[in-house]
Amino acid sequence: MKKYYLDNASTTKTKPETVYDAINNTLRNIGCSPSRGSYYCSLQAGRLVFKTRNKLAKLFNVEDSRYIVFTPGITYSINTALRGLLNEGDHVITTCMEHNAVSRPLRTLKQQKNIDITWIPADTNGHINISDVEKAILPNTKLMVVNHASNIIGTILPLAEITAIAKKHNIYTIADCAQTAGYCDINFTQLGLDVLAFTGHKALYGPPGTGGMVLSKRAAKEMRPLIVGGTGSSSTKQFQPDHMPEKFESGTQNTAGIAGLGAGVQFILDTKTEIIRKHEQQLLQQLLTGLKQIDNIKIYYSGDVKQQVPTISITINNLEMGEMSIVLDEKYGIMTRSGVHCSPLSHNSVGTLKTGTIRLSIGYFNTAEEITYVIKSLKDLAQGAPSE
């Protein structure tokens, strides 16, 4: 049976061929720790990491690539930023569209450091009222942390407006760009962000276990590293070096993963984000148009394909979402994700916390023919569902 992959919001399963080649070449022909020796292979590995850093700097418009830090993934990046910047009694502003990668660290820090949290409400389409952000500012507000786009319904939040408010009040800003890096044009310098957290394995087309964060100079100076240890430099110092990026990069790096990430970013730079976005928006519009004609299906999305990433959620009357996802896979070959998607706050805002949803997330390597098949299959499944 042919398989149809619509779980790109979790990870992009299909990668550009250059990504596979880069990982294979690094493991087979380099295979050394970067910047840990003066021999050729180690120097090659170091250059590879350096080149990937520069590619990311070009993609995100970062003036100094030393302020791009590699991590094992975006959850690690967000934890590093929150734990590194927040102190006892600080106040944080965030939204009710956050992933557990943000909400759980914040709640843990509330227990550990008595931080105060304000949750900006969202409507059922995932939109927030920007005036609520400024109203939430207190004298002890230290930072704002925002999910750039919802991982369940795709809604893009007004990041530029949020950072403008934060800058006016000298408040740090952290953007969770798990769903937008590689899809949206994100200009780090123009936005004036303090932390841009990204993952490698979604729309940047890298392998799992890759990610990172871009830091402003003031954030890099104030932020405490999550872990400390060997950095391959300043080895005689008894404490962690404070220069970038070594301050936040202890331990042997995932060189093969970073090579794959670099190839993925190069694919985006060559293809152009606007071309990627146009293709995925066309497929999303096709999917929405088809689903709206099917009885018993309820669709959850931003309301405008141009205001979101290519991710939507659906429910089918009186069908259990987990069972429905299994049927889609086993009977139709369609791979989706069901449940609350590590984002109970978002589901509560949308009104689907009790039931969960089936999430359909499109990627660049999906085709119009695949979307036609998905619509036909969901129609077949929905016709067998009992009416409410």
Given a cut of 70, is residue 387 above it in pLDDT? no
pLDDT at res. 188? 98
Q: Residue 255 maps to which CATH number?
A: 3.40.640.10
Kindly report the average pLDDT of the chain as a whole number.
96
Domain count, the chain: 2
Distance CA 253, CA 272 (A): 28
- What whole-number percentage of the chain has pLDDT above 70? 99
Is 176 found in the same domain as 64?
Answer: yes
Answer for the pair 381, 13: CB distance below 8 angstroms, yes or no: no
Q: Is 285 helix (H, G, I), strand (E, B) or coil?
A: helix
Tell whether 181 and 54 lie within a shared domain.
yes
Does 101 lie in the same domain as 181? yes
Residue 284 and residue 198: Cα distance in Å, rounded?
23
Q: Which domain holds residue 320?
A: 4-14+273-381
- Alpha carbon separation from 317 to 92, 314, 382, 386 (Å, rounded): 39, 10, 8, 7
In a domain, 217, yes or no: yes
The rounded distance, in Å, linking the Cα atoms of 281 and 294 is 20
Same-domain status, 142 and 178: yes
Does a structural domain hold residue 94? yes
pLDDT tens digit sequence for 254-296: 999 999 999 999 999 999 999 999 999 999 999 999 999 999 9
Residue 118 phi, psi dihedral angles, 5° rounding? -110, 125
Arithmetic mean of pLDDT, 179-202: 98
Q: Which of 248, 271, 294 is the last residue of a domain?
A: 271
Do the domain assignments include residue 376? yes
The last residue of a domain, from among 222, 245, 271:
271
Tokens standing for residue 56: 């990311």
Q: Does 309 or 32 have the greater pLDDT score?
A: 309
CB 205 within 8 A of CB 16: yes
CATH code: domain of residue 305? 3.90.1150.10
pLDDT in tens, 74-128: 999 999 999 999 999 999 999 999 999 999 999 999 999 999 999 999 999 999 9
Residue 387 belongs to a domain: no
What is the pTM (predicted TM-score) of this model? 0.96
Q: What is the Cβ-side half-sphere exposure of residue 33, based on CA atoms within 13 angstroms? A: 12
Q: Tell me, what's the pLDDT at 371?
A: 99
Residue 70 lies in a domain: yes
Provide the 3-class DSSP secondary structure of residue 143.
strand
Which residue, of 252, 271, 290, is where some domain finishes?
271
Q: What is the mean pLDDT of residues 327-340?
A: 98
pLDDT digits (tens, 9 = 90+) for 139-189: 999 999 999 999 999 999 999 999 999 999 999 999 999 999 999 999 999
Cα dihedral 148/150/155/161 (nearest 10): -20
Same domain, 141 and 216: yes
The pLDDT, as a whole number, for residue 282 is 99
Q: What is the mean pLDDT of residues 224-246?
A: 86
- Rounded average pLDDT over 51-70: 98
Report the distance separating Cα 249 and Cα 43, nearest Å: 17
- Judged against a pLDDT cut of 70, whether residue 386 lies above it is answered with no
pLDDT confidence band for 385 (50 / 70 / 90): low
Q: Could you tell me if 91 and 237 lie in one domain?
A: yes
Contacts of 67 (CB under 8 A, 6+ apart): 214, 215, 216, 217, 220, 244, 245
In a domain, 388, yes or no: no
What is the reported pLDDT for 335? 99
**Does residue 35 have a pLDDT over 80?**
no
Task: Judge if 312 and 238 occupy the same domain.
Answer: no
If asked whether residues 222 and 346 sit together in one domain, one would say no
Q: Are residues 169 and 288 in the same domain?
A: no
Same domain, 260 and 338: no
Residue 386 lies in a domain: no
